[in-house]
Structure formats: C-alpha cells, structure tokens
Structure 1
Amino acid sequence: MAERRPLITRRLRPGHWVAVDALAAVALAAGFSVAAVLAPESAGVPPYAAVPMIALACLPLAGRRRWPVLVWALVLVAAVFAPFAGWEEAFVPLAVALHAVALLEARRTVVAALTATLAVTAAGAAIGSPSWMEAVSACGFAWLVLGLAWTIGLAVREQRAYAAQAVARSAQVATTAERLRMARDVHDVVAHSMSLISMRAGIANHVATTHPEETGEALSITIAAS
C-alpha cells in the first residue's frame, strides 16, 4: 500500500503562511484599487480617493496571524472612513480580519470584535447608501459575509481544540497501557520468584528429616532465588 503524503498546507511553516498572507493582501489591495480607479465618480468623490483606505484595510492583513487584534483594529478604522471615500466593499477585508480574531483570540475579545464590526458596518451602509432601502440591503449583505467569516473562525477553532484534546487523550491512554503492561510483567516475575521460593522451601522441609545433608543446599538455593 502506497504511503500517503501529508497535505501541502500541513507542511507549511509559520513563515510560509506569512508570505502567503502578504501575497493575498497585496493582491486584494491591488484588485480593489484598480476597481476603484476605474469606477465612475460618485457624489463628487474622485475615484482615487478610496485608494488610501483600500491600502489601510488590505495591506495589514499580511500580519493577521501574528497580530489579529491590531490588524482588525486597523481594518476597522479604514472601514469607518471608507464610506466618505466612496468605497463600499470595506467589509471584505474586515471579514478576513474578523475571521482571524475569531480563530485566535479569547472569547470575550471575539464577541467584542463582532459587535464593533457589525455596528461600524451598519453605520457605513447608512452613510454610503442614498436611500434607507439600499442601506438595509447593503448592511444585510455585509452582515451575512461578516457573520459567516466569524462563524467559520469559531468552528475551525473548536475543531482544532477537539483535535488537540483527542491527541492528548490518546497519549494518556497509551501511557496508561504501557504502565499496566510493565505492572503485569513485574507481577509475573514476582509471582514466579515466590513460586520458586515456596517450592524450594517445601523441598527443604521434606528432606530435613530424611536427608539433612541436602537441607542446606535447598535453603541456599531458596535464598538465592529470593
């Protein structure tokens, strides 16, 4: 049977993941920047005005695994000012940053980050939409993406915790089994030695009256066996 090779993602080191995140952040920033520059001017806001906000929201994602809360805070600041620059897709990098927080941080921080993210997204949709119906629609879609990213982060976190507990339990079971095996081996050795001592003592007692000269030999063998 051919040996199964580990997945590529399992062979990547932390430095490799940082490089992957950096490339993804640059690609995301470049894509949104090109789309913003090519978009028509709206509400008197020039298309290139969104580029700084896009850079602030996308480029920090390169460090989301090492500094998830800091990266999320920077992206959240960009999301606050994005509506004034005519950029309506700030919730996309915000969802990526929120996913990292949900995956790596404590539960209290995770809940606080989700609450702040939803509030900022709702305010941005209200500012950037010309009517309340469009604001509700934009906010609902953004909340769906953000909630999905947050939920996936928590699910992956729980799965990793369960896998770690399973490995720990397996190691504990293996250690306990090895100790039981050693205890059985010691018990067998001791039981064999006691049986031998009992047999030699019986021989010594039997020959004590009939063959006294063999009693000392039997006792010496018994003492040596003990």
Structure 2
Amino acid sequence: MDDTHPFFARRLSRGQLIILDLVAGLVFAFVSFTSVANATALPPWVRIALPLGLGLPLTVRRLTPLPVFCFTLVLAIAATVAGVADLAYLAPAYALYVVALSDRAGVLVPTSAIGALSIVTVFGLALAGAPRQGAPEWLLHLDQPLMGIAALGGAWTIGRAVHERRFYAARDAERLAAQAVTEERLRIARELHDVVAHSVGLIAVKAGVANHVMATRPEEAHDALRVIETASRSALVEMRHLLGVLRSADAPDLVPAPGLAGLEGLVHQARLAGVEVQFEVRTGDGGRAFGEERLPEGVELSVYRIVQEALTNVVKHAAPARCRVSVVADGKEVRIEVVDDGPGRRTLPSEGAGHGLIGMRERVMMYGGTFEAAGLPGRGFRVFARLPYGEVS
C-alpha cells in the first residue's frame, strides 16, 4: 500500500471540500424530510422547502459562511418553534464552525465561556432527562433550545480551537524556517572564513618566499608576488561578502572546500543514480576552460553547492530523468542552470546538511546575485542562479 499521500492526512482542495459539504447538506436535507413529513399542519410546499433550506445552503458554507449561518439559524428557530424538526440546529452549527475558523471571527467573543456553557448544558440535559408529565408547559419545550445552545456553542468552540491550532502551527513553521535560514547563513560564514584564512595563509607563505629569494632569484620572487596579488584580490572580494554575516561559535570543519573541479564527480554520481546528465562548462571568451581562469574560492564553493543541491533534488524527486547542467562564466559573473524533465514539484528536504532551496537562495543572496527555482509548463523543473564575482570598481 502506498502511504505517501494518505487520504485522511492529505490536504483536500477547495472543490473537494465543497463536494463534501454538498453531500453533508443532502444528507441533512433527507433527515429533515423524515422529520417534517409527518407535520400535516404545514402546507406541502413548506414541508419541502424547509428541509431543502436547512440542507442545501450548507454546500456554500465555505464561500459565504456568515450568510449561510444566519439563514439556516432563522430556519432552525422557525422549525423549532413550529415543533417540526428536532435536529434543526445542527445545520447552523455546521455553518458556524466555518465562521469560527475565519480570522475575522469576533476576537472579543468569550470562546472559553461559550465552551463551558455548552458542556454544562449537555451535562444538564443528560442528568435531567426528559421532562415528566405534569411539568410546566415552558419546561416541556425547553430541551430543544438547550440542545441548540449546546450544538452552536460546541461548533463555535471547536472552530476557534482549530483556528488557534493552525495559527500556532503556522507560527512554528515560520520560526523553523527562520532557524533554518540562520543555520545556513552560519554554515556559509564558516566556509567563507575557511576560504579567507586559506588566502591569507597563502599570502604569508609567498611573501616569505619572495623576501627570501628577492636578491638571488628575482624571477621566483616575481612569481610569488603575482600569487600574492591574485590571492589578496580574492580575499578582499570574500571579505566584502563576509561582512555582516555572523560566525558560529563552533569550530569549522578543517577540510578543503570543494570547488569546480568536483563538478564532474557530482555529474558522475547523478548518472549512477539514473539521471541522464548533459554537462556543459564554458566561459564567454571563446570557450576557455575553468582550469585556466581562476574564480574566487568562495564563488567556486557556492557553484559547487548549488549544483550539488540541484542534482540531489533531481535524483530525489525526478530520477530516472534527463537533466542539463550548465555553468557559464564571463569574467564578471557565473551563471548556473540545472533543468530536468521530471515532475515539476519540489519539496524542501527535512533533514541533512543543507536546506534545499533555502540554502541555494541564501548562497546566491550572499553575493548579491539572482536565484530562480520553479516548475516548467507541463513537466520539468529549472534552477537558475547568477553570482557576480568580478571586483567592484
């Protein structure tokens, strides 16, 4: 049995909910027919219109909840006064539940007091039982209004309780999402710190070499100075992006940061998982390879992580499928595009090192780039990122 989308756990569409309300309204109208059929004192058209008026409006209770509630409440009161429908108050109670779910429902309405009154009324009716013969006339007909109060109060209380539960669940989801973004930013800060530390260490080493061989081997000293120039420019770019990002108190993982050289490995892993990958890496100056043009290490790391997460999503949600990975740099920015022909829906992973689309978006925003992730018409999903890395003039 496939329990990926269990019937009672999945979220029904608005059309499906309206269909369920239609079924409930028809059932209630039929039950009301059985109660009103023996009311010979009423005209025949009233015995037909009253059950239909109590049941059919419930179909649109989600579209116009308050008018449906008011309309069915008036009919329920009329039916109770005429003594022809014992369960007439269930119709307005069914509509009142949706009214209570609304954000515009009366905040000043004492829901706790209404719930307590409903419970007391139910227990009172259960303990008192049916009125005895010889009781006052007003007492003989008091049970129906009390049952109506209990039904309406219970519907309102349950509706407000569900509304509050949904509100707190949404707030918890927002808090978890914010926490995920914060953790991802801290992880990115650690990785950028490692990159900058590596650049500064390289500068220190090469500066020592240049100082040592300046007099005896000037060519080697010039090579060291060129490395120092490149590394310092890269470190300055990384430091600009590092400002404003908090660093975690945890010690960073002392491992080399993956870069563009590891993209072939990601593509190979995706192919082993059943994804037919078309891989393209090029620049805008005639097709020079990345190995001949050095990108800042933080940008390389971000490109690697974005391609890694995008291919991971393709393997998780679309395999077996065909996928095209394109990484293009032109000296000022690098553009990453991953397009597949699988199902167009994507979900954020609930566990693991990254946070899916959130992580990719945060990496791009760190460099002031743009990020897009959306399903394609028909089938397929596209992830596009643009990361500027040229020195700011």
1:63 aligns with 2:60: yes
Q: TM-score, normalised by structure 2?
A: 0.47
Output the CA distance in 2 between the equivalents of 1:180 and 1:144: 54
The residue that corresponds to 2:26 in the other structure is: 26
Aligned residue for 2:194? Answer: 188
Compute the displacement of 1:67 (Å): 1.1
Q: Is the 8 A contact 1:65 1:100 kept in 2?
A: yes
Structure 1 pair 3–179 and aligned structure 2 pair: CA distance change class (3 A): farther
Asked if structure 1 preserves the Cα contact closer than 8 Å seen for 2:76 and 2:88, the reply is yes
The residue that corresponds to 1:104 in the other structure is 102
Q: Secondary structure at the match of 1:139?
A: helix
- 57-66 vs 2-11, which deviates more? 2-11
Go from structure 1 to structure 2 and tell me whether the alpha carbon gap of 1:16 and 1:155 turns closer, same or farther (over 3 Å shift).
Answer: same
Query: Are 1:17 and 2:14 an aligned pair?
Result: no
State the 1:32 CA deviation: 0.9
1:175-216: CA deviations, max 9, x gaps?
222222222211111110011011111221223345455332
Q: Summarize the Cα distance change of 1:221–1:8 in structure 2 as closer, same or farther, 3 Å threshold.
A: same
Q: Residue 46 of structure 1 corresponds to which residue in structure 2?
A: 42
Code of the aligned partner of 2:149: W
Higher relative contact order (CA 8 A, sep 6+): 1
The list of structure 1 runs, each at least 4 consecutive aligned residues, that deviate by more than 4 angstroms after superposition, is: 209-213
Alignment partner, residue 91 of structure 1: 89
String of CA shifts for 1:134-193, please: whole Å, max 9, x gaps.
343332222112211111111111111122222222222222222222222111111100
TM-score by length of 1: 0.79
Whether the 8 Å CA contact 2:206–2:224 is kept in 1: the answer is yes
Q: When you count helix as a share of all residues, which structure comes out higher?
A: 1
Give distance in 1, aligned partners of 2:88 and 2:36.
Answer: 12
Relative to structure 1, the CA distance from residue 16 to residue 110 in structure 2 (aligned partners, 3 Å threshold; closer, same or farther) is: farther
Give the distance between the partners of 1:82 and 1:137, measured in 2 at CA.
14
Q: Give unpaired runs (5+ residues) of structure 2.
A: 118-135, 233-393
Structure 1 residue ranges without an equivalent (≥5): 119-129
1:3-39 residue CA offsets vs partner (Å, 9 max, x unmatched): 6332324253211111111111011101111222136
Task: Name which of structure 1's ranges 59-68 and 136-145 shifts more when overlaid on structure 2.
Answer: 136-145
Match of 1:5 in 2: 4
State whether residues 53 and 85 of structure 1, in contact with CA within 8 Å, keep that contact through their aligned partners in structure 2.
Answer: no
Instruction: Determine if contact 1:50/1:85 at 8 Å carries over to the other structure.
Output: no
Q: How does 1:35-184 map to 2 (within 5 A)?
A: 35-38=35-38, 41=40, 45-46=41-42, 48=44, 49-88=46-85, 89-108=87-106, 111=109, 131-184=137-190
Letter in 1 for 2:53: L
SS in 2 for 1:8: coil
Q: What secondary structure does 1:107 align onto?
A: coil
Instruction: Please state whether the residue corresponding to 1:4 is helix, strand or coil.
Output: coil
Shift of 1:105: 4.7
Indicate if the aligned counterparts of 1:37 and 1:47 stay in contact, CA closer than 8 A: no
- Work out the CA distance in 2 between the residues paired with 1:110 and 1:31: 35
Query: Which string of whole-angstrom CA distances, capped at 9 and with x for unpartnered residues, describes residues 25-54 of structure 1?
Result: 011101111222136x5xxx3385444222
Confirm or deny: 8 A CA contact 1:26 1:58 kept in the other structure. Answer: yes
CA contact (8 A) 1:101 1:110 kept: no
Distance 1:20 1:141 in 2: 25
- Pick which of 85-94 and 56-65 moved more: 85-94
Measure, in 2, the Cα distance between the counterparts of 1:100 and 1:170. Answer: 28
Matched residue of 2:214: which SS? helix
Amino acid corresponding to residue 46 of structure 1 in structure 2:
L
User: How has the CA–CA distance of structure 1 residues 110 and 27 changed in structure 2, closer, same or farther, with 3 Å as cutoff?
Assistant: farther
What secondary structure does 2:201 align onto?
A: helix
CA distance in 2, matches of 1:73, 1:34: 24
Preserved CA contact (<8 Å) 1:26 1:59: yes
Q: CA RMSD in A?
A: 2.8
| One-letter code aligned to 1:165 | R
CA distance in 1, matches of 2:167, 2:60: 23
